[in-house]
Each structure stands twice: as structure tokens, then as C-alpha cells.
Amino acid sequence: MAKPKPVVIDGEYTIVQGNSLADVVSPQVTSVNTQGKLIPRDQFERTPIPAGFDTYLSPINKGA
């Protein structure tokens, strides 16, 4: 298991354990935004835990 790591999730300081986003976000989260980059759920397993991110619970609709 990975060492505990300080992370800011949705503006709140949290200590998490894990290696990827999939290890730290709940199942209803569909995407996260970190440093201006939108990461969809299908990439969570391959994405290391960043120092901070915002979660999104509903799909992001592109275009209008």
C-alpha cells in the first residue's frame, strides 16, 4: 500500500492512501479536474494522485 499523502480534494485538505485516482475517489465521481486538465473516469486507474483536484459527479456534456 502507498504511503499516506496530503491532497486537496474539492478545496478540502485530506490525507489519502493509494497509487491512482481510482483508489481515492468514490464510485459516483465521473471526472476530476486538476491543473486545468479534465480526467474522465476511464483514465482514473492510469492517473497518479495529484496534489489537488476537484471532483464532478455528473457527466460533462461537450458542446451546446
What is the fold of 5-56?
Answer: Ubiquitin-like (UB roll) (3.10.20)
pTM for the model = 0.81
Rounded to an integer, the average pLDDT of 26-54 is: 94
Cell numbers standing for residue 18: 493509494
How much is the mean pLDDT over the chain? 89
The band of 7, judged by pLDDT with boundaries at 50, 70 and 90, is very high
Cα–Cα distances in angstroms (integers) from residue 40 to residues 10, 13, 43, 55, in the given order: 16, 22, 6, 10
DSSP one-letter code for 21 = H
